[in-house]
Amino acid sequence: MFLEGKSAIVTGGAMGIGLETAKLLLKEGCTVTIWDINETELNNAKELLKNYSSKIFTHICDVTDKEKVYELVKVAMQEMGKVDILVNNAGYVKGGGFLDCTDNDWERTVEVNLNSILYTTRAVLPRMYDNNSGYIINLSSASSFLGVADISVYAATKWAVQGLTESLRFEAWDRKKFGVKFCSVHPYYVATGMFSGAKLNLLGSILVPLVKSHAVIARAIVYGAIKKNKTIVRRPITLKLVNIFRGILPDYLFQKMMVMFGVSTSMKTWVGRK
């Protein structure tokens, strides 16, 4: 996709992957709207992004509030004239065993990581269908390929995001709307930010090293996904080994291999964003 003159919404855009993605989109000549629930960080992001382009709009948004989402999509249409790209980046994680987390922890995880994507997609997709043009990028996770201890509900939402993205793609094809694209992006643990501290053991880290920065994932979104019209992007690319091993090994051997690589203990050192 040629990005000059396109318009994009990035959810969770005040920090981390969302902020780095907004920077790249602005550099490519896009007009960008970022949403975030954190007003302080949103204001900081606005000042920073003005250094890249004046074509930036910011709005406080809790993406779990569907009425607010629908309202702000209309605002984005007015401010930018259109929405060509939607990056569903907003995310939430609560580490801990399934029985150690509260009902509120589970519900918040599902609301942010899955339900919000339904709201944003419902709001922008009709116009994209009308124009037979658009790109929706959904942030999934490496945990959409295999279960991960101590983030069980988070992993469940990311499996759902991958399934949703693929299903929406097939729906678009059935409607002959081949110009409307969908991509799921699957990052492994990023060394800083929301998953700070989490990692595989030494053996696992050799095969799947930590992602060094949020900018790596932003580049995957803009240059690996949008500009190349990819349907799925993994970082690091060695995550493909998970699907290969699952496909060729008996399941009990695959499970033992994942334990050997430290998947079952990878969240024990998690500290998260400070």
* Catalytically annotated residue among 92, 135, 154, 189: 154
Q: b/e for 114-135, b at 16 or more Cβ within 10 A? A: bbbbebbbebbbeebbeeebbb
Q: b/e for 204-237, b at 16 or more Cβ within 10 A? A: bbeebebbebbbbbbbbbbebbbeeebebbbbbe
Asked about 154 being catalytic, the answer comes back as yes
Q: How many CB atoms lie within 10 A of CB 34?
A: 27
Q: What is the crossing angle of helices 116-131 and 152-174, to 10°?
A: 20
Count CA atoms within 13 Å of residue 31 on its CB side. Answer: 14
234's enclosing H/E stretch is strand 232-235
Q: How many CB atoms lie within 10 A of CB 75?
A: 13
Phi, psi of 58 (to 5 degrees): -130, 145
Could you tell me if 63 and 120 are in contact, meaning their C-beta atoms sit under 8 angstroms apart?
Answer: yes
DSSP designation for 29: T
From the list 209, 211, 205, the residue with the least C-alpha distance to 185 is 211
- Longest distance between any two alpha carbons in the chain, whole Å: 55
Active site residues: 154
